[in-house]
Structure 1
Amino acid sequence: MHAIDLNSDVGESFGRWSLGDDAAMMASVSSANVACGFHAGDPSVIRSTCEAAAKAGVVVGAHVGYRDLAGFGRRYMDVDPRELADDVVYQIGALQALAATAGTRVSYVKPHGGLYNAIVRNTAQARAVVDAVKSVDPGLPVLGLPGSEVLRLAEAAGLRAVSEAFADRAYNPDGTLTSRSQPGSVLEDPEAVAARVLQMTTGEAISAIDGSDLLISAESVCVHGDSPGAVAMAVAVKRALDAAGISIKAFV
């Protein structure tokens, strides 16, 4: 592999509450998953995040989630599929408008947190997300976990399905993400994270949470912007990829 996309969840501050160093993350990544106001972010934060991405030449994606500010969108919600589809359309549309004012545009969609994990297996919610994206713009790719329902349905609907790996999250043996409630689910050592990304991008197996080997094939790798030491991890990942002759390039 000669190129890989690095994405990060950004724009997750809200009002007077600040989360992450988005400006610093933009120096290492090629794609920015911008919160759309439902799990985090407000109009001013969204606009300034899009401006920072445009200035850095970073592609903007809609980081859509459940309507769950209190839970940061990480809780599963039993939402009616039609309501969920409307919520996703609303979020994409809001980001499209604010991105346009910042001189950029929305180029893909990545679900967030509880929604992201739900649509690995939940067919009804996965279909709602796919239907929403297709109704807004069938040219928008959908980013998701390899083997997930949302990517299967996106492909079946004629959308581009983009598989994603996670630099700083532990995996279960079946390729799903280990719950954040479990010890060791979030990785914090920048050098260990960088080595793990290099393994994934060169086709080597990584260790699942139980120590078993796991092969992950992905077009994009996520470094969470809100993780402890997120910027240091992104810098270490970029340095390791550069040293291996692997360029960082957006998948769109």
Structure 2
Amino acid sequence: MLAVARHQAILDALQRERVVRVSDLAQQLGVSLMTVRRDIEVLEEGGRLERIHGGAKIPGDTSTHEPGFDLKSTQLTAEKRAIAVEAASLVQEGMAVGLSAGTTTWALAKELVSGPQITVVTNSVRIADLFHHAASAGSARYASTVILIGGERTPSDALVGPIATGALKQLHLDVLFLGVHGMDADAGFTTPNLLEAETDRAFVAAARKTVVLADHTKWGLLGISSIASLDEADEVISDSGLGAEAQRILQEQVGRLRLAAV
């Protein structure tokens, strides 16, 4: 493949996923890791992307950038569904289950609407609507109880702020499934929204068990605010595209790492 074609393929992948890994690109393009690194260097010199550890991201995609729900819900759908299926296996009848806002937790909600009867606590308008419409249509085996906490709405359709945080402080959850913007060895689990970070921290405090749901592209992404350190997660469920170094770090720091096969 000519260099110009490789460069365009890298940029196309970046537009789809916002963050790409050198190893993934090398496999997709059928070239060496060194070739991809050189291509990334050339594209960075031209201002087309920004290098990060092990890959590249869209230039100017800052730690406060918050993509909307509709865009994110069309990205990495196979990975998110695989993660959701794995996560759904942890849910048992009668549980109080927290679902933070996000497209991966939304994918999990789609698996749970016809699952065991549970009580769902969420700050996601989309997730609450999903359970409501499933119950109304009769597609759920029997309806779970859904508690939608209030608050200020974000671009990712999360309800956040002091009202949301105050409500969570009164609740006790068997398990929390937490969606995150990024994962990093030093910063832990992060989000680009300060108020959402505060609300997510209240979710973590309310739960006996915290399970983070994050596809492989979340590794190396940094939001402006940390939700929790890596060792505060009882489990992380990612997908089989997660790099070896990320796996090593997570296996050392979290209670358990699960990799869903895509």
Relative to the length of structure 1, the TM-score reads 0.30
Q: Which has the higher contact order (CA 8 A, sep 6+)?
A: 1
| Bigger helix fraction | 2
